[in-house]
Amino acid sequence: MTTGGGQVRFSVNLYNDGKVCLSLLGLTYAGDKSQRWDPQKSSLAQVLLSMQTQIFGVEEPFYNEGSGVPIHMRNTPAGRERSRKFNANIRLNTLRHAIVSHLRTPPLGFEEVSKRHFSMCRKRLLAQARRWMLEEEGNVSVFRRFERVYGELVQLLSPLTSYDGGKSLLPLKDDAAFVEGKNSSPRIETENDSTADKKAPASLSSNKSATPSPHTSRSTNTLAFNPWENPAQLRESHSGNQAGGTVEEDSDDEMYA
């Protein structure tokens, strides 16, 4: 349901037609007998647990290739760069197809629960998405793809503030610290704050007069504002800030637009 109509592959073990490749299912080589299906012992719970730990719980899925081809690249500059790009693509398509697409068109029958879920997670999602975007600021083409989908995410999440009753999950501490460091933003309230005011977090106030950080670039200047307060500001920046040259649009961008 999150393959973008059959065009996105989120892991080497997850095909864009929705199928799952797992040694437990006999679809990849398993040298250890315990990793193969045993009709007397194996269960659906074991399959789901294997997916959770071996596919969704892997930080660098690029190295999950069953043939083992990328393994020898793990500690090389080329391998680290390919893994980083692989993760950036997964992150971008997670925002596009697993979040924004479901905000636009929730699964039939799950419209209300989808709204409540994304309302509850909106602050955490925005902080994480913003971090992912800023981590790609060195690559103008990729950064602007993140920038576009981030703008959509802000716009779609803004109307959902009334669904969580002021109990939205706060950003994770690491994501908040990264965003603050990049943008000289006011301190963002996180889940670790024991004295948090859950209903009206003062840390999310406007920061239009903040002094840019030493490593501020075109991208961070564009984003030096509080997305929770004024989402239109990001959309306006797309047309008013074109430094950095032109960006070639790929077929996926054309489809997504």
Which pTM was predicted? 0.70
For residue 1, what are its two tokens?
């349901």
Residue from 126, 202, 204 nearest 160 by CA: 126
- pLDDT tens sequence across 107-144: 899 999 999 999 999 989 999 999 999 999 888 889 99
Mean pLDDT of the chain: 74
Q: Helix/strand/coil (H, E, C) string of 192-227?
A: CCCCCCCCCCHHHCCCCCCCCCCCCCHHHHHCCCCC
For residue 159, what are its two tokens?
């109307």
- pLDDT tens sequence across 15-58: 888 888 888 887 666 666 777 888 888 899 988 998 898 888 88
For residue 140, what are its two tokens?
């103008």
Note if 121 is an active site residue: no
Residue 254 has pLDDT above 90, yes or no: no
Q: Which of 21, 73, 120, 172 is catalytic?
A: 21
Task: For the chain, give every domain's residue range.
Answer: 1-77, 106-256
> How far is it, in rounded angstroms, from Cα 156 to Cα 185?
22
